Amino acid sequence: MPAYRQDLERFAGFDAQVVGIGVDSVFCSIAWQKYEIGMLNYPLASDFWPHGDVARKYGVLRAAEPLAGLSNRAIFVVDKQGRIAFSKLYQISDVPPNEDLFEALGKLERG
């Protein structure tokens, strides 16, 4: 998530808004930012209650061990009509490259 911070202007150039979503509580998310990664300069929503409801609806909530109840690492581009225009899953240990998003946003912009 910190990698998005450095490219916010580039996202804005595509008229795109970065929003992070995690299954942790608001308090855990704030502590994670404060003590681990630094405060984010874009919204980070909590999908804590009902636990993982958004992740489940997007098909990325882990149901089986290991890490049941956590969400898979994924990125989504939602268009202005609210439709998913792009999605991609990553290994939980991977950091999705911003270039994947910029490529998807470019395709969306070109129609």
pLDDT per residue as tens digits for the range 38-59: 999 999 999 999 999 999 999 9
Residue 111 has pLDDT above 90, yes or no: no
Please state whether 100 falls in left (phi above 0), alpha (psi between -120 and 50) or beta. Answer: alpha
Total structural domains in the chain?
Answer: 1
**CATH number of the structural domain spanning residue 101:** 3.40.30.10
pTM of this prediction? Answer: 0.85
Tokens standing for residue 95: 């950091």
Mean pLDDT of 80-107: 94
Phi first, then psi, for residue 51 (nearest 5°) are -55, 120
Give the Cα separation of 101 and 77 in Å (integer).
7
